[in-house]
Amino acid sequence: MKLPRPTDITSLAKLILSDDCKSICILTGAGVSTNSGIPDFRSPGGMYDSLKPDLITATPNQRRMMEVDPTYVVEKGMFFANAFPYLEVRRPFILGTRDHKWKATIAHRFVELLHTKTGKLTRLYTQNIDGLNRQCTDLPAEKIVNVHGSLSEVACEGCGADMDFDEFCSSVKSKIKDIYKIDPDAPKESSPIKCTNCNKPLVKPRTVLFGGSLPSEFFEKCEEDLPSADLLIVAGTSLVVSPANSLVHQVSEDTVRVIVNNQPVGMELGIDYNKDNELSRDFFAQGECDKVFLDLVEELGWIDDLQAKTHQLPLKSQDLLKLKMSLNKKTD
């Protein structure tokens, strides 16, 4: 059944609550986590934009490759030839994850609330490896597909043997140099972290490298979930990486698609930004992810539930919530 296309946050909230909307899938990217302090990949100041190949332990040729295309830092061939670019670039992210440095944002809490308040969340597909959705403990693990793996599970990319996360982090701390110059205790030079099973220096978090395979769960769940989804919400992703971006095509032609982003994305995939096209099923909720989801939570009548989690939010998200509450008081 074709549902009405929302034209604003109020009509999106109505659609979510309507009996005709039974199944909702969500695809998220790095933009939902930036308010927690984790940079995205492709924005100015993002991981690829700020990459400095000169600081990385690599051959001149490998540095040139990363200069031309920064995604080489997380590419399978590069990792097998030299694990240091991945480990040096990811060092603060790995150690920050161990130290619980980042908190789930309003966008993450929205997903949790959608599940607990409506039971309509069929699946969250997240490209993020930060594990912030797992902080939302009312969202069951089986509702989440970690499309690109997870930072807190570690294994040898060569033989597949697992390694304990804390043990791995201790090795990262003592063996991998800090190219960001934030850790005075970091070694001056990097040395290999070897697998205790095969002795190769190929140990890393279980995250998907470019040229590597996605977890089979991704393909299984897509087939199971997407054809019958009534609503697909796509938040904080540039939609440039496949096959994650294929979700926008895998839903049926009647599925309403909502893009939450600070800029239009996915035009080349057929996302329609023409507001005047009456036949379109796409709605662009333009803005900062946390702000859009905060407005949506308010329209859905869940603001008290979100407020109860205020202290679990990162400071930026807390400030947004406080501002909204004080504005609401003034208009009461």
Residues at the interface with ligand OAD (CB under 6 A)? 29-31, 34-35, 40-43, 46, 71, 74, 127, 148, 208, 210, 236-238, 240-241, 261-263, 265, 288-289
Name the one residue in this structure whose structure tokens are 């930004």. Answer: 273
Neighbours of 212 (CB within 10 A): 14
Burial of 158 per CB tally in 10 Å (0-12, 13-18, 19+): middle
Distance of closest approach, residue 71 Cβ to ligand OAD, in angstroms = 6
**Distance separating alpha carbons of residues 231 and 281, to the nearest angstrom:** 10
* Token digits of residue 207: 């995250």
Nearest one of 233, 302, 318 to 37, comparing CA atoms: 318
**Distance separating alpha carbons of residues 87 and 75, to the nearest angstrom:** 12
Distance of closest approach, residue 33 Cβ to ligand OAD, in angstroms = 8
Name the one residue in this structure whose structure tokens are 């893009």. Answer: 259
* Token digits of residue 317: 């998200």
Distance of closest approach, residue 329 Cβ to ligand OAD, in angstroms = 26
Nearer to ligand OAD, 11 or 262 (CB): 262
- Positive or negative: CA dihedral 11, 258, 150, 175: negative
Distance of closest approach, residue 189 Cβ to ligand OAD, in angstroms = 26
Nearer to ligand OAD, 23 or 79 (CB): 79
SS3 260: strand
Neighbours of 48 (CB within 10 A): 17
Nearer to ligand OAD, 21 or 244 (CB): 244
| Whether 320 contacts 294, CB under 8 Å | yes
Nearest one of 4, 2, 1 to 283, comparing CA atoms: 4
Catalytically annotated residues: 148
Sheet holding 121-126, edge to edge: 144-146, 121-126, 24-28, 231-235, 256-261, 282-286
21, 84, 147 from 89: Cα distances, Å:
42, 8, 21
Nearer to ligand OAD, 31 or 186 (CB): 31
| Whether 32 contacts 108, CB under 8 Å | yes
Distance of closest approach, residue 56 Cβ to ligand OAD, in angstroms = 16
Distance of closest approach, residue 204 Cβ to ligand OAD, in angstroms = 12
Nearer to ligand OAD, 21 or 222 (CB): 222
Distance of closest approach, residue 257 Cβ to ligand OAD, in angstroms = 15
Nearer to ligand OAD, 23 or 62 (CB): 62
SS3 26: strand
